[in-house]
Every structure is written in structure tokens, then in C-alpha cells.
Amino acid sequence: MLEKNLHTLLIEKLVPGGYGLGRLDEGIVVLVRYVLPGEKVVVREVSRKKDYITAILREVLSPSPDRIEPPCPIYGLCGGCDLQHAGSDAQIRLKKAILTDSLHRAAGNIVSDPALFIENHLAAPTQFGYRQRIRLHVDGQGNYGFFRPESHLLVPVSRCLLARDELNKVLQQMHTCHSFTELVTHCTAFELLFNPAGKDTFLLLHFLRKPRPADCLSARDLADKITGLSTILMQIEGYGLYDPLEQIFLPGSPILSYNLAIEKIVTDFTLSWEAGGFCQVNLEQNNNLVKLVLEMAVSGPHKRILDLYCGYGNFSLPVAKSGSEVLGIDTQNAAIRSAQRNAKQNGIHNCRFEKKQVPAAVDSLLAAGRSFETIILDPPRQGAADIVSLLPKMNPDQIIYISCNPATLARDLTALIPGGYQISRLVPVDMFPQTHHLESVTLLKRSIR
């Protein structure tokens, strides 16, 4: 039986979100995943909007020379990776093209040719096995896995190629453990978290109800049987974090940590965060990211630096270690608790952290007449549209913008550049190999007046 709504098209480029873009004969845009520029493909239309069509790939008629066989057996079914069908060099080239195109489209009238100032990428140390944590979802029948692309349907998973080996070893053991099957039926999701300090794994269960004695027995049996699993926690909505092995609600989250390896910091430097809290999933590449930011920051005695969306002090503390006075702002209590703990355990006294909504904090700093030589910001994917136009009013000599979304970075730069700044450096950072996601670091310096 012939499928309906089939179209044959040529893929022009990849766009933010990892979609390939092609056009029908009448010019309407078609967006489809798992394709590469230059390929002639057959797609099936799944939805039609006013300005574009979304489709799914049915056949590659003319494959790109960059196309390879994806190593993951569930690639295309799982919604995680979306560039495994391209070689590692091609992935970087494609991501850089997305970044270049985003800048040209959003800021072409105020930015010179982006291709001229975007530097070579900061390569990831490894292409697979880099994720420090994974989260699997659970349905009403106790089945677990990753979501399919743009869906809440599950794909069963017993091994993820992006996860560290330590996580996969625990996951594969749990897959055949009856006690885990009993526990997971009462969950909406669970997370596996690798703790570099102890070289062990935490299991965080998102539990639907208060635990019962039978649940604690299952947790004990699971802990006894699974090699490499050191900690089991239950996050219970409305009640908090529960330790089923000790059978108590915890006053705070257990701590995970790792040593940051930076040549400029000659002493041991440890960063820690709360279980379930945010940290960079690619810890090895995070070392390189921090080095890059340190290289850009004009740090030293008597330099005042503001770090917005500071998290647990990933940039604030290494910069403060080199002598600058640093103020870190974040919206999350857990992040600020971790940042303050990290400052204390690393003996850093010239770095202060405040828990505030970032727009409100910027308003307060402006009202107080505060100024900073350098402003660092590392906003979430939605960017920082509500504050970027205010940052030049603090008179920084430079602004360092760490972005995980080329589209919102391009939008925000259109507000910063007219404020009297120009792009000095823009470095793509391959934080998430095998996916379209791209980190980047942009250094803006005050224009010479």
C-alpha cells in the first residue's frame, strides 16, 4: 500500500533544532530530522503549518559523503542523539554552519561575516561515553526508557552509548533485577548519576507516593545486588528526599564532586553539587570550557567580575582563585548552596554568591551604581533577552557570553552590539557530541570610541 503525503526534496542545510531544511517546488519549507545537506530524500509529511511542513524521513536517494552508519541500535527511535549519522568532523562543520547561519540571520546588519571571526571548535575529548548522568522515563506499566523524538512514547533502553561505562554497567544490572522492577512501577522517572569523587553511581527514583516497608526492602536488595551502585534516593513530590536504606527523610541532598584540572590553578580544586542538581554532563569537556573562559577573563587583583547564572561556581570560583573579586548570581537555592560550599572548601574568600532572580539582581546592581570590569553570563537555553540590553549600563570592559543555543545567542548579540560592544572572539565548544546541541563562548569587548 502506497504511503500518502510523500515528497522528494533536496536538503539545503541544517537549522537550529537539528532539522534538515528543504523546499517543495512551490517554495514551502520542509523540516526533517536525520538528513544531511546536499542529500536528495523522500519524506512523509506529518503536519503542515502556515509557513512550513514537518516531515519524517522515508528514504535517502542520494546520500551525502558525510553519512555514516550510526553505531546505536535504537538511533532514530530514541529522541536523544540526532547526528550519529554524520562523522565527527562533519558534525562539527554542521554545528558551526548552524551557528554562522543563526548569526547572519539575526544580526547580519550589525555583524560582519560571522564565518570570519568564528574560531576553530574546541573538540570534545571523547565522542561517546561522556555523560555523567542520564534520566529515563517510566510509563504507567513500569516500562522505562527514553522518549521517542517529539513524543512521550517510550523506547526501551538498557544501554546508552553517550553514558559513561559506570552508568551503563549499573543500568544493565538493574534491567534483570526483580527488586528494581518492583520499585520502578511506582516511579515517573529515574536518574543515574556518576560521582567522580567516589567513582560510584547514585540512583535517584522519582517516586509517586510515600515509600512503604516493602519498598525499603526492595531498595536494600537492589543495593546488595548491583555492583557499583552506592546510593539509592527517592524524590517524593511534596515530601522531599528519602533514603530507603536508612529509612529517613534527608535534611539535604547528598553531594557529588570532581576535581577541576586547570593548569592555572596549581592547587587541588574541587567542585561539588547536590544530587539531582545541575552540573555539566560532560565533565572532561567542562575542564576545557573553564580554561577557555579563564583565558578570556581579564582576571587579577582588583578586578571586579559579575557572574550571572553562576550555578555552583563553575566559572566564578576559578576566576576568583586568580585574584579577582567576584559576585555570582543564580535563581536556584541548590546552586547557591553548592557555590557557597565550593568557595569554603577551596579556601576562596573573594567570591560572594546571592540567590536572586537575575533580572531583579541586575536592576538592583544598576540602582546601586555598581560597575564591573568583566561580566560573565551562562543563561539557560532561552537566553537572556530580559537583561542583555542592561549590561552595557554597568560599563564592563568586556562581556563573556556562554551559550548553549545558537538562535538565542544570535538574538541577544543584536542587543549587546548596539550597546557599544563588538565581538572579539567566538569559539564553538563541542560539549554534546552526536547531538545538534552546541555550546559556544563569545567574548565581546567595548568598542573604541
Whether the CA torsion 433, 435, 436, 440 is positive or negative: it is negative
Instruction: Return the H-helix or E-strand segment holding 409.
Output: helix 406-416
Active site residue 279: no
Q: Are 322 and 296 in contact (CB under 8 A)?
A: no
Closest CA to 256 of 194, 346, 341: 194
Chain Cα centroid distance, residue 319: 22
Closest CA to 325 of 347, 303, 355, 297: 303
Closest CA to 127 of 344, 295, 284: 284
- CA 58/CA 343 separation, integer angstroms: 53
Assign residue 235 a region: left if phi > 0, alpha if psi is -120 to 50, beta otherwise?
Answer: beta
- CA 341/CA 363 separation, integer angstroms: 27
320 Cβ contact partners less than 8 Å away, ≥ 6 residues apart = 305, 326, 343, 348, 350, 351
Q: What is the dihedral of CA 126, 129, 37, 95, to 10 degrees?
A: -60
SS3 label, residue 335:
helix
Which grid cell sits at 64? 551525502
440 DSSP β-pair partners: 403, 428
Closest CA to 286 of 321, 310, 262, 316: 262
411 Cβ contact partners less than 8 Å away, ≥ 6 residues apart = 106, 383, 385
User: 78, 216, 310, 404: which is the annotated catalytic residue?
Assistant: 404
Q: Are 135 and 144 in contact (CB under 8 A)?
A: no
Give how far Cα 338 sits from Cα of 277, 288, 299, 355, Å.
9, 21, 23, 11
Per DSSP, the residues of 70-112 read -S-TTBTTBSS-S-TTB-HHHHHHHHHHHHHHHHHHHHTTTS-
What is the longest distance spanned by two Cα atoms in the chain? 74
Q: Are 38 and 94 in contact (CB under 8 A)?
A: no
Annotated catalytic residues are 404
